[in-house]
Structure 1
């Protein structure tokens, strides 16, 4: 005889009932809880760690705080590009820097998470959540640190447990020891030397961060840097990193690691374009991607399908294979940005409780890598347009044609516009430049517009955003023939 979910817990307390139970407390979780509470629904949020999730605690906020600090130090060293300016940067007190970063994190966690949860008044439970019951009657158990167990029943459940740094199977990796993008931000001293495994956004940000703090940095990348972006991005970044003394080794695949007893350094043997080479450093930072956090949740018990990397498989409405269980944010394997997670969370609340039938749409999704110069992009790349069978036209504006970049005395980079050659509609915008993130944010509103609409629009002089108008004008006029504002 089949036992119902309620019958499995007849010996214990009756389940606490809510309309929405949220596992996790990051951007997706908070967006869903806020929206559901606004709709008048009862909500419980379950967190096994620190309230706030990845972004505020170990991701966006602390990393960008340290990047900003490293940039301030770099500016002192780099100010000589302006005639008449001579400055120098001193050594870094890493412990003080990390303490300052942590103070900022705790302040934002209190203001944007703890205080917000208190203001809306939803219930918060601390403990490990796991699904029990059946697909038709899912329940949650929440096991607290003291071993006590609470049973929760909800009309809808949201899995928003995020992701964590992932390390591949490399011989000797665990024995030699390594840091991740999370633990690297807790080091109490600037490493004399650092080896970074990876060529994606996190690897590049962290490599430049530590180089600017004083480390000797080498990057081992399997392919070109920022391989998901336009090929011009890799070319500019590799040159910019080299200018700052960062060595980039491409087509490098680590095969084994060992920590030397005599020096304490880690020796990494890598296959570089078919031949083995050795690299030494005080620390190895593994930045080769992240994986969804789903282990221990009991998803199979309630009929929730997961993918090869553990991610919750969802529809474009963010619904799992169990219609009462939804997922949002990094745990879905979708683009790993906190603003994507927040969008997911709001969408889940609207679909679950307001019958909105909304789907997620990444057509105008902006993406930013916080290197210097930064990488900003929105929409499709040239390769994606061609792969979609669309006749493509594009222009690349070198920054020496952009007055703001010339005034900044930093013309490293470009702005690239990709259009549909048959309709003249803008399909993508990419840039490597100071404030490239702001260019990407502006580009969100330009996707789908025609070249002429952008070329004829107002653009304030001596801004980076003026470059978008200039690159649109280069579809009809060579950049060399354009005067200031004309």
Structure 2
């Protein structure tokens, strides 16, 4: 065989697998049809969070008067400069953390479109219309996912933005309609609103962030409304057309009533689908599912024992840390028959709105569906000293516990820095801690993580009657 491992794709899963294989001295080749680095560094986590941080900086300036005696202002955004700075950051990270690492570890990245042929082997279409045949002992499909939009009358004619193309705009539109009220849509909606764009969000489910606890959805909706973002839950985009340079969207609510919204830009944030187009998987015994995902077993092996898949293309949770874990698992299983699997029970998730929404473990509804006798507590941030001194008590902590044992089953946080807070909850879930144990642990005062301890204490006492620094 020419290589020990041939990888299609160059994102988080691909690089994790390549690095793991090269550390063992195995030969690796990587094939990428587009830009090296995959979604996270190019069009996902890195650019979106960089722009969100910039929007947050402007918002902080404009809302500084929540502190008595503090005055601040923010001029209009020089959007072209902001986008150029984002592009420079992305290019630097792509070189340092992707292309540069490939050179350092010693594997080649071939630019071209790969497809499987009998062997199995890969036939790669190169830029000069030539093809190259690549053979390997094992193959890894790590082609990620791409934005997906539902069929909407007129959508193909009016043109629309995705979460990726929205971050490449040259100028800020006056207004924007965001279709999709899950994490991508929520982040993009607040991002552009805080940069000065009038934004409306449409979500077909009956609430924003439908995968989160209802209390978090309701609080997020209030945050958005307070910031001037139009919120339209339980609403479906029926058709669109352009009129006078604007997008006219016809919307339908649950009662069947229709209304129109006018916006300068339409951003479709309706999800992502695994990308397997043109890979020829069926020809080598690797199946795809209804959403285009590569069907794998618990060890990430396809129907062909020499072909594996990792990351978003598998249809597993679409987080870069899952993709990275997948890559390492594939190398262990392919070359060492390790039989490794991954447990997603305590997998954390974060929506980088402000305040952030983060969760790990089960929701109340999920726990009940699994047969648990649950007991829940909701702690508003007005009882958390860190939120009080920040002069921002928007948010809450909700804990889901097993009634008869007190064992923590799920943690849900809407707060500044919720992503950091939820990491603590992951450890508590992993070690099967009870809310009583969580309520008795040491926790530094005036941190947002203290909200978890206080929420745990609400199962046995009234925290409103505690001194601000009492344990």
1:383 matched residue in structure 2: 365
CA distance in 2, matches of 1:392, 1:476: 15
**After superposition, where does 1:283-322 map in structure 2 within 5 Å?**
283-322=265-304
Of the candidates 220, 225, 242, which is equivalent to residue 237 of structure 1?
220
CA offset digits 1:372-400 (Å, max 9, x no partner): 01101111111110000011111111101
Deviation at 1:343, TM superposition (A): 0.6
Is the 1:210–1:217 contact (alpha carbons within 8 Å) kept by the matching residues of 2? yes
1:432 matched residue in structure 2: 414
CA distance in 2, matches of 1:234, 1:304: 39
**Mean alpha-carbon deviation: is it higher for 203-212 or for 307-316?**
307-316
Deviation at 1:187, TM superposition (A): 0.6
Gaps of 5+ in 2: none
Deviation at 1:214, TM superposition (A): 0.5
Deviation at 1:322, TM superposition (A): 1.5
1:248 matched residue in structure 2: 231
CA distance in 2, matches of 1:303, 1:131: 10
2:401 matched residue in structure 1: 419
Of the candidates 239, 250, 254, which is equivalent to residue 269 of structure 1?
250
CA distance in 2, matches of 1:406, 1:363: 33
1:417 match: secondary structure:
strand
Deviation at 1:420, TM superposition (A): 1.5
CA offset digits 1:109-131 (Å, max 9, x no partner): 11111111111101221110000
CA offset digits 1:254-286 (Å, max 9, x no partner): 1111001xx200001111121111111000000
1:393 matched residue in structure 2: 375
CA offset digits 1:82-127 (Å, max 9, x no partner): 0001112110111110000000000101111111111110122111
Of the candidates 450, 457, 460, which is equivalent to residue 434 of structure 2?
450
2:63 match: secondary structure:
helix
Is the 1:424–1:450 contact (alpha carbons within 8 Å) kept by the matching residues of 2? yes
Deviation at 1:36, TM superposition (A): 1.1
Deviation at 1:481, TM superposition (A): 2.2
CA offset digits 1:35-69 (Å, max 9, x no partner): 11112211111111111000000000000000000
Of the candidates 57, 60, 71, which is equivalent to residue 72 of structure 1?
57
Deviation at 1:251, TM superposition (A): 1.1
CA offset digits 1:339-369 (Å, max 9, x no partner): 1100111111111112211111101211000
**After superposition, where does 1:166-177 map in structure 2 within 5 Å?**
166-177=148-159
**After superposition, where does 1:79-478 map in structure 2 within 5 Å?**
79-133=64-118, 137-223=119-205, 224-260=207-243, 263-273=244-254, 274-447=256-429, 448-478=432-462
Give the 4+ runs in structure 1 shifted more than 4 A: none
1:445 match: secondary structure:
helix
Is the 1:25–1:53 contact (alpha carbons within 8 Å) kept by the matching residues of 2? yes
Is the 1:317–1:348 contact (alpha carbons within 8 Å) kept by the matching residues of 2? yes
CA distance in 2, matches of 1:270, 1:325: 44
CA distance in 2, matches of 1:476, 1:407: 26
1:479 matched residue in structure 2: 463
Number of residue pairs the alignment of both structures matches = 466
CA distance in 1, matches of 2:109, 2:89: 23
Is the 1:396–1:416 contact (alpha carbons within 8 Å) kept by the matching residues of 2? yes
TM value normalised by structure 1: 0.95
CA distance in 1, matches of 2:88, 2:450: 37
1:62 matched residue in structure 2: 47
TM value normalised by structure 2: 0.98
1:7 matched residue in structure 2: none
CA offset digits 1:181-216 (Å, max 9, x no partner): 000001111110000001100000000000000000
Deviation at 1:317, TM superposition (A): 1.1
2:40 paired with 1:40: no
1:113 match: secondary structure:
helix
2:2 match: secondary structure:
strand
1:4 matched residue in structure 2: none
2:349 match: secondary structure:
strand
Is the 1:156–1:325 contact (alpha carbons within 8 Å) kept by the matching residues of 2? yes
Gaps of 5+ in 1: 1-15
CA offset digits 1:411-459 (Å, max 9, x no partner): 0110111111232211111100000000111211110212222111110
- Give the aligned CA root-mean-square deviation in angstroms: 0.9
CA distance in 2, matches of 1:351, 1:449: 32
Of the candidates 16, 26, 30, which is equivalent to residue 31 of structure 1?
16
